[in-house]
Structure 1
Amino acid sequence: MVVESDVVETIKLKPDAGLVKSLGTHHTFESAMADLVDNCLDAEATRISIRLLTQDDRLVQVEVVDNGKGMDAEAADKAMTLGHQRAYGDNDLGHFGMGLKAASFSHSDVLTVWSSKNGAISVGRRIRRTDFSRDFSCERLSREAAAAAQIKRAMQVNLQWGTTIVWSALRSTYRGANVDEARTWMTQTELKVRSHLGVTFHRLITRKLLEIDIVVDELGYADDAIGTPVKAIDPFCYANSGRPGYPKTIVATAGRQEVALQCHIWPGKTDIPGFRIKGKSGDKFQGFYIYRNDRLLQVGGWSEVANESVQRQLGRVVIDDALAIGTFLTMNPEKAGLRFEPRFRDALGSAKAADGTTFDQFLADVEDTYKTANKRVMRRHPVIAPTRGFAPAVRKQIEAELGLNKSEALDIRWTRLAEGQFFDIDFGNRTLLLNQRYRYLFAPSGGSLNDAPVTKALMFLLTHHIFEGTNLGPKDKDNIALWRAILGAAVEAEEEMRGE
């Protein structure tokens, strides 16, 4: 045991700059973007432009431009200081003083910040990761360069005040030689960023307190590009609850502190954006949704207080209590999920709603709702497998809903048919033929192998049982004639209505 008389001296230990190398190691590209957006919001920005700039189809630079209040020279120096914790307000999203640096160095080696504040001289700062990890050095950039960045910002977000964050010398980019792979990487990266920001900031976007747009363009031409807005993805956007009496609020109590858990049950057999998030099926997003100042910190997951299962995929729980963070819940620097402290887990065991519903009963209700909604699925019979010509997402959903008889396969393709004939049946080759003449009506932006997914899905549902027999019977032939007549008239009417 150490007593006070044992202390002979107090020394101050400075952090080793080498810790920079470990900054942001848990950040994905999209979570790093969200962290930068947090900084913009703390600066009172209402519009943010994210610019993913390419050369030869490879991502080479990232810019995040906002119309916030900006920084003067002193504030810019503090923003570039590792671990500097300003006086955070109750509504601020910043927390650790690490976000800008950790997010940036997770995916780039050079961070540049340009900022302009009303009544102050525009400033520029640059940190090179190698230098920063050696001695925390930061470069101050010229007033002339900062003024030029201010003019550029005014064109991008219609306001000269604000901040521009630039990543260069990127480590996260496609580095192979395959151009198609590079373009696919860029497309997928944009979609990940778009969906992550859409769900993370969905409350602010829906209430029109925040506009985010994304530009993907060549580095030399992006100044004149117009961004595409990020749309809100609400993980609680169902029209009707999956179970009467829900959502309901269950209250967990520990000592004098209470935390409200708003428990939701989605309707069964749902597959819409909001239930499906980030391109992944809804069963991946059961669990807790934790908000802080309308920013979503955790997107699903039971955080070790319950087990994930297929039967619980309809259950989602909202915790929207800033006071719970730091006491019952601990946030990590990346703001990507929280740790549930033992006292909160214990409190859940005795948590109840006003009607006496416990957390365990909520989980049981979730499972029962899922089982009830899926009883009828057992009566469905497997169908012929849609293959060539059907979009992968359509094939996947048909398999999920109906099941496939994979010993048989059905193709669909466009070909030349007589005018006025929309489709034909090639029974011997198990192929559904659509008339090339009318392709432009259903794929106006140009044909591809998996185009017109709605039209093809409807045709599959109409005709799949025709191909599942061993031969065309009299009833099959009569149905084919009927469908040809009606669909032929319909497609000609469609063409006429469009004035073609």
Structure 2
Amino acid sequence: MEFEVVPPGPQLMESMRAVGYSLKTAIADVIDNSITAKATAIDIRFSAEPGNTFVSISDNGTGMDAAGVRHAMKLAGHDARSTRNAGDLGRFGLGLKTASLSQCRVLTLISKRNGTLAGVQWNLDRLAESGQWQLYILSQDDLSKLTHTRYLEDKASGTVVLWEEIDLSDPDHARFTEDFTAKMAAAREHLSLIYHRFLEGEDGYKLSISLNLEDIEPADPFLTHNRATQRGHKEIIRVEGGEITFRPYTLPFINKMSVKDRSQAQANGPLRDNQGFYIYRAKRLVIWGTWFRLVPRGELGKLARVQVDIPNTLDHLWALDIKKSAASPPPAIRQALRQVIDRIIQPSERAFRHKGVIDDSKGSMTRSWLGLSSRDGFYYQINRDHPLVENLADQLNAEQLLALDTALKAIESSFPVTDAYVKLSGDQPQKSPDTTETALKDLAAEYWRQWSAGGGSAADFINGFKAAEQFSRCRDINALLTEVTEPGVTK
């Protein structure tokens, strides 16, 4: 049997551009290499001017020598099956080339180690013209003429990845500059999320990333800084000698989120679309906002999120793709997660049920609205046993009572449940009533005026309203109601 070596043609580079990178995921793939090189500072620059469009990504990592930069530009220069260091974010040895050339036609790699610069370049047009795999080796004179080498002047070591002739859209289009700038703004948000643990300095490794000299701030999807966030216990699943850890979080109800919190929590659209597992590979966020079809997304579960950490030694089990933007859990992990997923979602459901109006007839609180059920569905009804309603009814004759009941039924029949659902599912915060002591005292005083006008006693007023829903946040409702009915007296 004979064999013949048939190397791929240089047009393979053109074909590889269609892997599916976006601008933001391509930049992230380059940054992965910087983190693997132990960089602590990454500087991203770009120009959106037609005719001078570029993106450069420089770092202060370990850098490479001449042999190193050549090897880095080699397709699949690293075996995906080989063992990597725990913090190595690489996978197939394709990321730098496929990510970069998906966005540009000229890729230049410049690196510095031991005070010496080395550089190489892929040029797709030259590859097409020559029909050969021609990697251009840059001389020291070539490097001195490149303005982007200045990013390495004050560094002992480091690397610059330079994209030129960017053709992700028509450079002659009237909106090219605006569109490209918008894509870079989206990249900023993307990087702030997927590298938030590096930007926060977790485990003592503090990374800074800047975009056109503006620092990128971390976007924590779990809002761990918010005191209302509920943090579950960390659990470990052991598979093939590796450990997969997961920790559930329940976000605060949206009314307890600041504007910045809501922006971070809505990284992938509405809260409903961001619930689920957040898969981290060596602390780098790979995929998020999915339950892997173990359970459907629901409104009551939209505050539930789970941080899942997987080591790079288990890449083969998770079917991690080239872009590191998709992963699927192996059967053993799916089974383990299926067993605990209900427990993970329950805190989110409780948060919504606590905020909702429910039938509390067996509880200690007097609700203004009751949520009731029938064979035909659910409905809401004004609580006829509420002290305000009872006091008003005691002052009316039979004809007036009928009119009151008709008015209450008219209000109940037009309860805007659909509108409320639309607003809540769209993450619009509900305006909370003022619950300061002063506001509650003013409310109680108004209730007392109405109560006393009908001849009601102070004792009955206090007994009737101390369990009213409106005063559930009051620290000492007995003292407040007493002061309202007997000014100057506090018990």
TM-score (norm 2): 0.64
Q: What is aligned with 2:207? A: 210
Larger Rg: 2
Alignment of 1:90-239 (within 5 A): 90-120=86-116, 122-132=117-127, 134-149=131-146, 152-155=148-151, 158-159=154-155, 161-173=157-169, 175=171, 177-178=173-174, 181-207=175-201, 209-215=206-212, 227-238=213-224, 239=226
- 1:6-29 per-residue CA deviation (whole Å, 9 max, x = no partner) reads xx4566554454432332522111
Contact 1:60–1:173 under 8 Å retained in 2: no
- 1:219-265 per-residue CA deviation (whole Å, 9 max, x = no partner) reads xxxxxxxx11111111122423555xx41234446687653321111
Distance 1:89 1:259, change over 3 A: closer
Contact 2:286–2:325 under 8 Å retained in 1: yes
SS in 2 for 1:338: coil
> Where in structure 1 are there 5+ consecutive unaligned residues?
1-7, 216-226, 351-357, 383-394, 404-500
TM-score (norm 1): 0.63
Does residue 21 of the first structure (1) align with residue 14 of the second (2)? Answer: yes
Shift of 1:127: 0.7
- What residue identity is the alignment partner of 1:142? S
Take 1:38 and 1:61, find their aligned partners in 2: how far apart are those partners? 20
Contact 2:109–2:120 under 8 Å retained in 1: yes
Does residue 265 of the first structure (1) align with residue 258 of the second (2)? Answer: no
Does residue 299 of the first structure (1) align with residue 288 of the second (2)? Answer: yes
Alignment of 1:328-367 (within 5 A): 328-350=317-339, 358-367=340-349
Take 2:41 and 2:242, find their aligned partners in 1: how far apart are those partners? 37
Contact 1:264–1:317 under 8 Å retained in 2: yes
Take 2:152 and 2:415, find their aligned partners in 1: how far apart are those partners? 55
Q: What is aligned with 2:53? A: 60
- 1:347-401 per-residue CA deviation (whole Å, 9 max, x = no partner) reads 3334xxxxxxx3223224433323433559999998xxxxxxxxxxxx9999934
Shift of 1:63: 1.0
Distance 1:258 1:205, change over 3 A: closer
Q: What is aligned with 1:460? A: none
Identical counterparts, % of pairs: 24
Alignment of 1:279-298 (within 5 A): 280-298=269-287
Take 1:44 and 1:242, find their aligned partners in 2: how far apart are those partners? 32
Take 1:23 and 1:316, find their aligned partners in 2: how far apart are those partners? 35
- 1:103-144 per-residue CA deviation (whole Å, 9 max, x = no partner) reads 111111111112221154x22211122455754321112211
Q: Which structure is higher in strand share? A: 1
Tell which deviates more after alignment, 320-329 or 93-102: 320-329
- 1:85-119 per-residue CA deviation (whole Å, 9 max, x = no partner) reads 17742321111100111111111111111222115
Take 1:52 and 1:328, find their aligned partners in 2: how far apart are those partners? 37
Shift of 1:173: 4.0
> Where in structure 2 are there 5+ consecutive unaligned residues?
359-368, 370-379, 381-411, 417-422, 432-491
SS in 1 for 2:332: helix
Q: What is aligned with 1:41? A: 35
SS in 1 for 2:319: strand
SS in 1 for 2:35: helix
Shift of 1:189: 1.7
Q: What is aligned with 1:463? A: none
Shift of 1:155: 5.0
Contact 1:59–1:186 under 8 Å retained in 2: no
- Structure 1 moving runs of 4+ over 6 Å: 376-382, 395-399
Q: Equivalent of 2:26, from 15, 21, 32?
A: 32
Say what the alpha-carbon RMSD is for the aligned residues: 3.5
Take 1:399 and 1:360, find their aligned partners in 2: how far apart are those partners? 23
SS in 1 for 2:163: strand
Contact 2:49–2:177 under 8 Å retained in 1: no
Q: What is aligned with 2:473? A: none
